[in-house]
Amino acid sequence: MKWSQYFLKTQKEIPVDAITASHKLMLRTSMVRQSVAGIYTWLPLGLRVLRKIEKIIREEHDESNCIEISMPTMQHTSPWIRSGRLDIYGKELLRLRDRHDNELIYGPTSEEFITDLYHGFVQSYRDAGCVLYDIQLKFRDEIRPRGGVMRGREFLMSAAYSFDNSESDALNTYKRMFDMMNRILQRIGLPYIAVRADAGEIGGDYSHEFQMLIKTGESTSYYKENYDAQVQNMTGISLSDINDGSFIADDLLSEITSNLTETDSSQASQPESLETFRAKIKNSDITISNLVKQHSIEVAHCFYFDDKYTRSMDEFVTNANGQKEYLKMGSYGVGVSRLVAAIIDASHDDKGIIWPISVAPFHVMLINLHVNDSATTEYANDIYNNLCNAGVDVFYDDRYESAGIKFHDADLIGIPYRLTVSKKLYAENLVELKYRSTHLTETLSFDECMCKIAAK
């Protein structure tokens, strides 16, 4: 992609209410633009990142035998009336009336919708065991949307829902989905931890939040001091990586009198219930003062909520004895748009974003410093074409701008590899390669440069 033909204008002035690094940087790089509070247009650069995250999420869901559907954003209230949640969800639920006076909601989550949908097709226990998912916009009328897309009102979420015959089948599914969440976050490649959590509005007994560790995060995660080094240095950490690891989510803190602990869930075939976990906390010898406290933001969540929705909505299957049976459900959500902001907060410096290669909008930024010089431009164009032909995601700064502006913008946008071409480099048949994350610079032939890029 050539910048001269792209829709991207970096911004100097941004609104004063943009406080967090990710919010500022997403506005300065024109990744998004606010429409009204908490509602954003995704502009081309931002959309590329969003789509890359979506791709990772989709691949891992498919790999975990989840089946994709696409549910509507607007839902009828009747399933919500049946579950009893319409009146208790609160003001975050956006309600509308259509011209026929039907009351609709803009879906904040889809437990009711999918329970109804699923049982429209599945009436026998033999057909249970399936996980359906979609990646769709959600709406929650947050009282204080903040941090840009970090806490929006309209946001993109991937949501999977499982239906199983027995608690043991359901918990095996939970474990499979828990492992899938770890793979998604490990592919993104930034530090996070899985913490025990209360299931909140959705309800249920088993719940894990996946918290990305960022200084400005609105949650607080606690973990054992000796895991600190691992959390900081590893590209991802999962319960299965830690024998007897300890973590605790902020909302459990008030429950803790003195101690907490967590077993390695990979040792057990199924996760332990929150109740068991809390009992262990009380009986363990770890004190809260021994724990490392770090700000974090929830980017994904697993819930197991048994037959809460199937029973309350009276949606059932017939079991082997011809009797009524309520399937056991779980839900598994990833904040796709929130992840974009969380990644930037976890990976930037004072000059701009430092994209992990896994989700970078482009892999290579090619800069021509002497656009006015026809020979240099021909050389740069050749390099651009070679990169494109080799299948490299390249963004080519072919604008008539000064070197200062081009380098400044390249640092701001944060594409992992910066390739510079100038009159002098052209004369020597070389290019300059700079790594955004380490600032390391090398002068190389184009072929050498390609080897370095391909190796990553």
- Of 418, 413, 395, residue with least CA distance to 31: 413
Which of Mg ion, ligand ATP, none sits in contact with 396, Cβ below 5 to 8 A by type? none
Is 436 a binder of Mg ion (CB under 5 A)?
no
Q: What's the CA gap between 418 and 366, in Å, rounded?
A: 6
Out of 271, 333, 361, 414, the only residue in the binding site for ligand ATP (CB under 6 A) is 333
Task: Tell me how many residues contact ligand ATP (CB under 6 A).
Answer: 16
Among the listed ranges 182-190, 228-236, 331-339, 419-427, the one in contact with ligand ATP (CB under 6 A) is: 331-339
Contact letters (x/-) for ligand ATP, 196-215, by CB under 6 A?
----x---------------
Helix (H) or strand (E) holding 374: helix 374-389
Say how far apart CA 432 and CA 419 lie, in whole Å: 5
Taking CB under 6 A as the rule, does residue 298 contact ligand ATP? Answer: yes
Choosing among Mg ion, ligand ATP, none, which partner's interface includes residue 131 (Cβ < 5 to 8 Å by kind)? none
The residue behind tokens 């929150």 is 274
- Cross-strand pairs, 300: 210, 334
User: What string of DSSP letters covers 62-92?
Assistant: HHTTEEE----SEEESHHHHHHT-TTTS-TT
The least CB distance from residue 216 to ligand ATP, in Å, is: 14
- How many whole angstroms separate alpha carbon 339 and alpha carbon 337? 5
Closer to ligand ATP by CB, 180 or 299: give it: 299
The smaller minimum CB distance to ligand ATP, of residues 300 and 365, is found at 300
Task: Count CA atoms closer than 13 A to 224's CA, side-chain side.
Answer: 18
Q: Which is nearer to ligand ATP, 127 or 218 (CB)?
A: 218
Q: Does 140 bind ligand ATP (CB under 6 A)?
A: yes
Q: Using CB under 6 A, which residues numbered 154 to 193 contact ligand ATP?
A: 155, 157
Q: CA-to-CA distance for 390 and 392, rounded, in angstroms?
A: 6
Backbone angles phi, psi at 364, to 5 degrees: -125, 135
Given candidates 48, 52, 151, 187, which one binds ligand ATP under the rule CB under 6 A? 151
Question: Min. distance of Cβ 122 from ligand ATP in angstroms?
Answer: 24
Tell me the CA end-to-end span of the chain in Å, nearest whole number: 21
Answer yes or no whether residue 142 interacts with ligand ATP by CB under 6 A.
Answer: yes
State which of positions 286-325 bind Mg ion (CB under 5 A). 301
Q: Which is nearer to Mg ion, 24 or 301 (CB)?
A: 301
Q: State in angstroms the smallest separation of the CB of 320 from ligand ATP.
A: 34
Q: Are strands 94-97 and 103-106 parallel, antiparallel or unpaired?
A: antiparallel
Helix (H) or strand (E) holding 275: helix 274-283
Scanning 174-182, 229-237, 293-301, 382-390 for contacts with ligand ATP by CB under 6 A, the matching segment is: 293-301
Query: Which segment (226-234, 271-279, 298-306, 383-391) binds ligand ATP by CB under 6 A?
Result: 298-306
Angular region, 391: left φ>0, alpha ψ -120 to 50, beta rest: left
State the minimum distance, in angstroms, from the CB of residue 300 to Mg ion.
8
Q: Which C-beta is closer to Mg ion: that of 301 or that of 434?
A: 301
How many angstroms separate the Cα of 127 from the Cα of each of 108, 327, 334? 28, 11, 26
What does DSSP assign to residue 249? E
Task: Please identify, using beta-carbon distances, which residue of 28 and 301 lies nearer to Mg ion.
Answer: 301
Q: Give whole-number Cα distances, 439 to 362, 366, 454, in Å.
A: 18, 16, 19
Q: Which residues bind ligand ATP (CB under 6 A)?
A: 109, 140, 142, 151-152, 155, 157, 200, 298-301, 333, 335, 337-338
